[in-house]
Amino acid sequence: MSKASKAAECALCGAKSTQRCSRCREVFYCTEEHQYTHWRAHKNYCGPPSTISISAIFIPADEDSPREVTVKCTATHVGGSIFYNPDLESFLGTTDIGGQRISRMGYNGPKLTNPITCYIRDNFNNDGSPFNKCALKMTGGRTPLAWRGNVLAMKHSGLYPDKLLDVKLDKDLDAIVEYFKWYPNKPA
């Protein structure tokens, strides 16, 4: 079972619960015993959700501050695995989108437990994207690259790169700022 932020009714007895099925994340149980008892009925429709929502850090080109946003991710079934593809177009537009992976705090700093990918428009220097004044402000103007267009940062599990994790502004922004300060040049 996994913990939910809002209470709901137990599928077996109706008691209030914040514990839910960790597979489908749709059905709630007040105890593990109730989850086990209800499994015979639940297993017939239990499955991973077709969409999930993940927290990301949005670094908008036309604003002064980054902010946390919710990104809808749609399931894709490949072989026996499920991959969740984030809806990047809502934040970056429909042109070529690429990702820059951040695996360390700064250029030579400690390795991050869970890497962060900054999604950008691949051709932002040539496609008319505006300068990203938020990135400039976050770094105090110390960025060797003239970042343009919006940036969306998402975190991945260190063990399972295709598994997306929630990003937190207060915990994950520093790694992004440090990355912006040195990329694409090595620091002196």
pLDDT digits (tens, 9 = 90+) for 3-55: 655 678 999 999 999 888 887 778 899 999 999 999 988 887 787 778 889 99
Region of 40 on the Ramachandran plot (φ > 0 left; ψ -120 to 50 alpha; else beta): alpha
> Looking at per-residue confidence, does 114 or 186 come out higher?
114
User: Out of 76-85, 87-96, 103-112, which region has the weakest mean confidence (pLDDT)?
Assistant: 76-85
What pLDDT sits at residue 51? 85
Read off the tokens for 12.
């077996």
Query: At residue 79, does pLDDT exceed 90?
Result: no
Q: Give the closest residue to 175 by CA, choosing from 66, 98, 64, 85.
A: 66
Q: Give the closest residue to 103 by CA, choosing from 158, 159, 160.
A: 158
Instruction: Say how far apart CA 29 and CA 13 lie, in whole Å.
Output: 8
Bridge-partner residues for 119, per DSSP? 99, 152
Average pLDDT score, the chain: 88
User: What does the pLDDT look like over 134-156, one tens digit per residue?
Assistant: 999 999 998 888 899 999 999 98
> Looking at per-residue confidence, does 105 or 158 come out higher?
105
Q: Would the pTM of this model clear 0.85, i.e. be above it?
A: no
Instruction: Say how far apart CA 185 and CA 85 lie, in whole Å.
Output: 30
What pLDDT sits at residue 26? 80
Residue given tokens 């913990």 in the structure block: 3
Q: Give the closest residue to 45 by CA, choosing from 61, 29, 27.
A: 27
Instruction: Say how far apart CA 8 and CA 112 lie, in whole Å.
Output: 35
